[in-house]
C-alpha cells in the first residue's frame, strides 16, 4: 500500500499553480445577485467577518427551513454551516484527534473495493472540501500531464430566459 500511495497519490497543494478566472471588480454586484447574497447578509455577516476575522454572532433560533428543505434558493455555504453546538464528552481535541476532525477529502476514480491494486491510490487529496477558482484550475489542467488523471470540464450554464426547457436541454447535453 505504501508504494502505491507514494507513486499514485496526488496532493492538490503539490500541483503547479495555474492561471484561473479572475473577475473584474465591476462585476461584483452582478455576482452577488447571481449567488443570492442579500444586503442583510453582507452587512451583518460578511462585514464583521472581514473586519474582525471571526465568525459572526447571531441569535440561536431561526424560523427558516434548513437549506436542503428550503423552497427558496440558498447559498452554497448554507448547506455546510453548523448552526448548533454539539457537546462531546470528553471534548474533541482538534490537535490530537486530527483523524476525526480533519476536513481533508479525496477525489478520483473508485476502484473495486474487493480487489487489491494500485488503482485504489489514484486519488487527489484536498485539504478542504470546497474548491476555489485556483484549486479548480489546478485540477482542470491535470490533462497537461500524461502521468495523471484525465479531466473534463462539463459546462452547466444555460440561458436564464429559456427557463425549465433550457435547464432540461443543458442536463441532457451534460449526460451525453
What residues does each domain of the chain span? 2-175
Q: Is pLDDT larger for residue 107 or for residue 94?
A: 107
Averaged pLDDT for residues 141-169: 83
Model confidence at 45, pLDDT cuts 50, 70, 90, reads confident
Contact yes or no for 138/124 (Cβ under 8 A) = no
User: Of 12, 48, 24, nearest to 126 (Cα)?
Assistant: 12
pLDDT value at residue 39: 86
pLDDT value at residue 103: 85
Following DSSP, what letter does each residue of the chain receive, concatenated? Answer: -HHHHHHH-EEGGGSPP-------GGGHHHHHHHTT--HHHIIIIIHHHHHHSSPPP--S---SPPGGG-SS---GGGGT---SPPP-SSPP-TTT-HHHH---EEESPPPPTTS-SGGGG--EEESSSS--HHHHHHHHGGGGSTTS-----------GGGHHHHHHHHHHHHH-
Contact yes or no for 44/37 (Cβ under 8 A) = no
Contact yes or no for 140/151 (Cβ under 8 A) = yes
Q: Is pLDDT larger for residue 101 or for residue 170?
A: 170
Mean of per-residue pLDDT scores for the chain: 82
- β partners of residue 46: none
Asked if the bond preceding 2 is cis, omega within 30° of 0, the reply is no
Find all residues with CB under 8 Å of 78, minimum gap 6, and list them.
Answer: 67
Averaged pLDDT for residues 137-155: 77
25-29, 32-36, 93-97, 151-155: which has the minimum mean pLDDT?
93-97
pTM of full prediction above 0.85: no
Say whether pLDDT at 150 is over 80. no
Grid cell in block for residue 114: 474487493
Amino acid at each position: 500500500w505504501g508504494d502505491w500511495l507514494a507513486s499514485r497519490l496526488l496532493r492538490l497543494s503539490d500541483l503547479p499553480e495555474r492561471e484561473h478566472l479572475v473577475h473584474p471588480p465591476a462585476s461584483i454586484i452582478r455576482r452577488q445577485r447571481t449567488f443570492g447574497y442579500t444586503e442583510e447578509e453582507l452587512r451583518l455577516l460578511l462585514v464583521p467577518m472581514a473586519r474582525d476575522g471571526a465568525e459572526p454572532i447571531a441569535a440561536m433560533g431561526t424560523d427558516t427551513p434548513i437549506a436542503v428543505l428550503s423552497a427558496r434558493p440558498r447559498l452554497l455555504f448554507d448547506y455546510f454551516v453548523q448552526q448548533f453546538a454539539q457537546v462531546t464528552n470528553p471534548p474533541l481535541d482538534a490537535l490530537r484527534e486530527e483523524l476525526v476532525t480533519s476536513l481533508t477529502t479525496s477525489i478520483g476514480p473508485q476502484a473495486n473495493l474487493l480487489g487489491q491494486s494500485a488503482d485504489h491510490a489514484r486519488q487527489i487529496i484536498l485539504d478542504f472540501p470546497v474548491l476555489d477558482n485556483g484549486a479548480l484550475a489546478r485540477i482542470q489542467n491535470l490533462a497537461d500531464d500524461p502521468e495523471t488523471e484525465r479531466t473534463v470540464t462539463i459546462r452547466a450554464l444555460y440561458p436564464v430566459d429559456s427557463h425549465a426547457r433550457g435547464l432540461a436541454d443543458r442536463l441532457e447535453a451534460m449526460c451525453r
